[in-house]
């Protein structure tokens, strides 16, 4: 088992999660301690200014340095880590066009921390024809195996829903021999999650989020706006599929004429309706939906999901997992897989034509690339 530190800064741009995990890249040996470094208002402004931009564009180098600085500072608090998995900060995602862009150099992070860093997890998958996202599904499979071994779920298909800036769902069977096995995992982005709601709160109230769903709970969803949103051809596209943070660019305009409360309630309805629309692609109904990410802390979102979905909707804590740190843990686990040359994605999670081992490995002095694991 390797003691790995996974580090994740998502599209909500609220901060950096860091979490220890002991793993051989297949089974989870133990979960370790974790930490969170919040993004300051000034830092968030720098990051937001780089959204939608690519390497070499104005503001990207500054934002990349900010990401490296924040991660290096947090990594110093984990001297026990033998290996670091560094996701970087996503600024653009266009897998069928220019590719995918996660800013921040793992080579510089390795030099600053004195430890090996696995990074740039998505580019190889995109290069081989995949979507490059979502990347947590194989880890979700490992989590389900860990939970199953402890008798916390039944040996039947289960689904994980991550509600970060964008929503993504993983349907999986923990009885499968490996996550890349046929019918072990199916994953895809469902639609918007916290990002549009957070953007609304920032624009209208100067707040970073709708804490506890207080504003959304006071409003009513606008059915015309919801119908307009669901008319997007995205929902008729079969998975695997992935989204850029700002794919649904018309969404702010759909709620522009609504009161603050009704706009927030409509964006919550958008999240739940997106997940409901994705159910038709699942191989079978899961025994339950385990929700992770910041969205699970919003009781209005959780209630909207429960109202629309025909199976139990539960926070992942009900299965003994940490919903705040699951993605950080995922990149620690994935880092070990890359070091061992194991697949990190495959046809049913990113639409890559074959299993892919995606990532670069940077020693404090040397950088190498991982490749095809088929």
Residues 235 and 290 in one domain: yes
Asked if the structure places residue 364 within a domain, the reply is yes
The answer to whether 299 touches 214, Cβ cutoff 8 Å, is no
Residue 62's Cβ-count burial label (10 Å; 0-12, 13-18, 19+) is middle
**Four-CA torsion 302, 195, 86, 100, nearest 10 degrees:** 130
Averaged pLDDT for residues 66-80: 96
SS (H, E, C) 222-245: CHHHHHHHHCCHHHHCCCCCCCCC
In a domain, residue 141? The reply is no
Under the banding of pLDDT at 50, 70 and 90, the label for residue 373 is very low
> 144 lies in a domain?
no
Which one-letter DSSP state was computed for residue 283? S
82 pLDDT higher than 70: yes
Residue with tokens 């649904």: 248
Cis status of the peptide bond prior to 134, with omega within 30 of 0? yes
Are 40 and 106 contained in the same domain? yes
User: Is the domain of 237 the same as that of 335?
Assistant: no
Lowest mean pLDDT segment, chosen from 97-101, 125-129, 168-172, 305-309: 97-101
Query: Is 244 within a domain?
Result: yes
Q: How confident is the model at residue 369 (pLDDT cuts 50, 70, 90)?
A: low
Please state the rounded mean pLDDT for residues 188-193: 94
Q: Of 319, 346, 361, which marks where a domain is finished?
A: 319
Residues 105 and 194 in one domain: no
Co-location of 167 and 193 in the same domain: yes
Q: Does an H or E element contain 73, and which?
A: helix 60-75
Q: Over 60: is that where the pLDDT of 19 sits?
A: yes
In a shared domain, residues 305 and 337:
no
Same-domain status, 206 and 101: no
Same domain, 310 and 330: no
The parent domain of residue 219 ranges over 153-319
Give backbone dihedrals phi and psi of 229, rounded to 5 degrees, phi first.
-65, -45
Could you tell me the CATH number of the domain that includes residue 203?
Answer: 3.30.420.40
Q: Are 306 and 218 found together in one domain? A: yes
Within a domain: residue 148? no
Q: Does residue 171 have a pLDDT over 50?
A: yes
Q: Are residues 178 and 299 both part of a single domain?
A: yes
CA distance 8 to 25: 18
Residue 49 lies in a domain: yes
DSSP letter string, 181-192: STTTEEEEEEEE
| Phi, psi at 194, each rounded to 5° | -75, -25
Residue 294 lies in a domain: yes
What pLDDT does 372 receive? 45
Residue after which a domain boundary falls, among 293, 319, 345: 319
Residues 237 and 253 grouped into a single domain: yes
Phi then psi for 305, rounded to 5 degrees?
Answer: -65, -45
What is the number of structural domains in the chain? 2
- Could you tell me if 187 and 314 lie in one domain? yes
Helices (H) and strands (E) in the chain, counts: 13, 13
């Amino acid at each position: 088992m390797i003691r790995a530190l996974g580090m994740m800064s998502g599209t909500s741009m609220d901060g950096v999660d860091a979490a220890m995990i002991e793993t051989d890249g297949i089974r989870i040996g133990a979960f370790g301690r974790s930490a969170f470094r919040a993004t300051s208002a000034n830092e968030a402004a720098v990051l937001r200014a780089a959204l939608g931009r690519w390497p070499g564009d104005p503001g990207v180098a500054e934002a990349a340095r900010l990401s490296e600085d924040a991660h290096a500072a947090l990594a110093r608090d984990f001297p026990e880590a033998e290996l670091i998995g560094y996701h970087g900060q996503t600024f653009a995602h266009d897998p069928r066009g220019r590719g995918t862009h996660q800013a921040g150099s793992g080579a510089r992070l390795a030099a600053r921390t004195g430890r090996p860093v696995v990074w740039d997890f998505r580019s190889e998958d995109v290069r081989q024809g995949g979507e490059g996202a979502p990347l947590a599904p194989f880890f979700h499979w490992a989590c389900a195996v860990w939970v199953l071994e402890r008798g916390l779920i039944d040996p039947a298909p289960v689904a994980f829903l991550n509600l970060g800036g964008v929503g993504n769902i993983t349907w999986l069977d923990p009885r499968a021999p490996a996550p890349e096995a046929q019918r072990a995992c199916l994953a895809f982005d469902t639609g918007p999650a916290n990002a549009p709601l957070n953007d609304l709160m920032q624009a209208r109230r100067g707040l970073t989020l709708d804490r506890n769903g207080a504003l959304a709970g006071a409003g009513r969803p606008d059915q015309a706006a919801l119908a307009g949103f669901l008319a997007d051809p995205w929902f008729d596209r079969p998975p695997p599929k992935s989204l850029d943070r700002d794919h649904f660019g018309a969404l702010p305009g759909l709620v522009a004429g609504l009161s603050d409360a009704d706009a927030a309630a409509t964006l919550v309805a958008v999240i739940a309706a997106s997940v409901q629309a994705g159910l038709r692609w699942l191989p079978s109904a899961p025994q339950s939906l385990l929700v992770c990410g910041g969205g699970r802390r919003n009781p209005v979102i959780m209630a909207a999901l429960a109202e629309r979905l025909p199976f139990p909707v539960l926070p992942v804590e009900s299965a003994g997992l940490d919903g705040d740190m699951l993605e950080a843990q995922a990149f620690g686990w994935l880092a070990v897989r890359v070091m061992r040359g194991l697949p990190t994605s495959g046809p049913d999670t990113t639409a890559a034509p074959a299993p892919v081992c995606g990532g670069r490995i940077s020693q404090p002095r040397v950088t190498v690339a991982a490749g095809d694991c088929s």
